[in-house]
Amino acid sequence: MSLLQVRDLNIFFRTQSGSINIVNNLNFDIEEATVFGLAGESGSGKSLTALAIMGILPPNIYAEGTVNFKGTNLLTLSPEAIRDLRGREISMIFQEPMTSLNPVLKVGHQIREVITTHLKVTKKEADKITLGLMRAVKIPAPEIRMKEYPHQMSGGMRQRIMMAMAIACSPSLLIADEPTTALDVTIQAQLLELLRDLRQQKNMAVLLITHDLGVIAENAEKVAIMYAGRLVELADVHTLFEEPRHPYTIGLLRCLPRGKGTPLKPIPGTVPKPNHLPPGCKFSDRCGFAIPECKTKEPALRKIKDGHLARCIRAEEIEQYKVA
Ligand SMILES: Nc1ncnc2c1ncn2[C@@H]1O[C@H](COP(=O)(O)OP(=O)(O)OP(=O)(O)O)[C@@H](O)[C@H]1O
Ligand SMILES: [Mg+2]
């Protein structure tokens, strides 16, 4: 059985005039100790999916469906039970660590708090584990830096503190939501390398969320592409890059730098808002390969071959579009 099974996950936003569906019927599995990439443009529903798995959706948003983690449906757990799992079995790192670190507590204290919440250890033992974690995330002079406040650290160092907190109890699943987007490219590369090392050492599965397919290519084994709250393509990483079957995936791939002199081709238009989705295929109004039928009936996510799904009625003809 997979470590995480997401089944018919729907996420809704409550408004005075009723609920708006933001994430629609998601289904995917994450196997133990593997990296699963979730990609898509801003507003496609990636973060809300992560927050639903973690049980930390904002009050005006709710989820339906099942999220089975080691056989338990997280969506029906009591708040106490999910709080106990969080940090111990599943943890998360966010794009901007400043918003998730407490500005008035020293970073060492914040790491230690995760340890003492979940493990029965003395204060001295917790300090020792804290130092070990700071070394594991390669923070220089940890004895000194553990006494610093978040604002005294650089963005990259703060993200390392977040990582130390996230791996403190050796969770089975780490959710990393755009963990490096706010940082410059050198720091980004260092942190992704650190994430790869930690994942191997700790044997963790990772749900890696990003809008950057380059990051996916280097880090993930399986990939799901999300558009307007739906999965539009799902495949192993090699297949997705070599044989994409959805025009949106191809559009994202065309946005990747392809060497000197090759211009980037952005996808025209923007992701529609959840309450203004077009009828039919949600991508049809931006799709250069759409035919009239695409505008009337929403295609199902269907099997192209084992382990490869795409939500496009023209998936088999896609070579023509790739060349164009
Ligand atoms: N608290 C909220 N209240 C209402 N709508 C929200 C809320 N949070 C997100 N949304 C809407 O839900 C949709 C999905 O948002 P989400 O943050 O999951 O996207 P995302 O894929 O993570 O985007 P990004 O790449 O920008 O992080 C967006 O249309 C967004 O406007
Ligand atoms: Mg997001």
Question: Which residues, other chains included, contact 300 with Cβ-Cβ below 8 Å and sequence gap of 6+?
Answer: 311
- The model's pLDDT over 44-60, given as tens digits with 9 standing for 90+, comes to 999 999 999 999 999 99
Å from CA of 32 to ligand 2 middle: 24
Task: Locate the ligand 1 atom nearest the alpha carbon of residue 51 and give its number.
Answer: 18
Which ligand 1 atom lies nearest to the CA of residue 44?
A: 21
Residues with CB under 6 A from ligand 1: 13, 22, 40, 42-48, 58, 60-61, 211, 273-274
Gap between the Cα atoms of 268 and 271, Å rounded:
10
Confidence of residue 323 (pLDDT cuts 50, 70, 90): confident
Which domains does the chain possess? 4-220 (3.40.50.300), 242-323 (no CATH)
CA distance 160 to 150: 11
Q: What is the pLDDT of residues 83-113, one digit of tens each?
A: 999 999 999 998 877 778 999 999 999 999 9
Residue with CA at minimum distance from ligand 1 atom 8: 48
Residue 303 host element (H or E): strand 302-305
Query: Of the residues 13, 24, 178, 255, which should be mutated to test ligand 1's pocket, given the most ligand atoms within 8 Å of the CB?
Result: 13
Q: List for the chain the helix, strand, coil content (%; round to 5).
A: 40, 25, 35
Q: Whose CA is nearest to atom 18 of ligand 1?
A: 45
Residue 262 pLDDT exceeds 90: no
pTM (two decimals): 0.94
Closest atom of ligand 1 relative to the 271 alpha carbon: 29
- Ligand 1 pocket mutation, candidates 22, 56, 94, 175, criterion most atoms within 8 A of CB: 22
Residue with the nearest Cα to atom 17 of ligand 1? 47
Could you identify the atom of ligand 1 that is nearest to the CA of residue 211? 25
The pick from 11, 15, 19, 42 for probing ligand 1's pocket by mutation, whose C-beta has the most ligand atoms within 8 angstroms, reads 42
Long-range contacts of 50-55 (CB under 8 A, 24+ apart): 50/92, 50/175, 50/177, 50/207, 50/209, 52/9, 52/11, 52/23, 53/4, 53/6, 53/90, 53/175, 53/207, 54/86, 54/90, 54/92, 54/175, 55/79, 55/82, 55/86
Q: Which of 170-179, 188-197, 256-265, 306-315 has the lowest mean pLDDT?
A: 256-265
pLDDT class for 324, splitting at 50, 70, 90?
low
Reported as a pLDDT band with limits 50, 70 and 90, residue 278 is very high
What is the number of the ligand 1 atom nearest to the C-alpha of 41?
25
- Check: CB of residue 149 under 8 Å from CB of residue 87: no
Provide the pLDDT for residue 300.
96
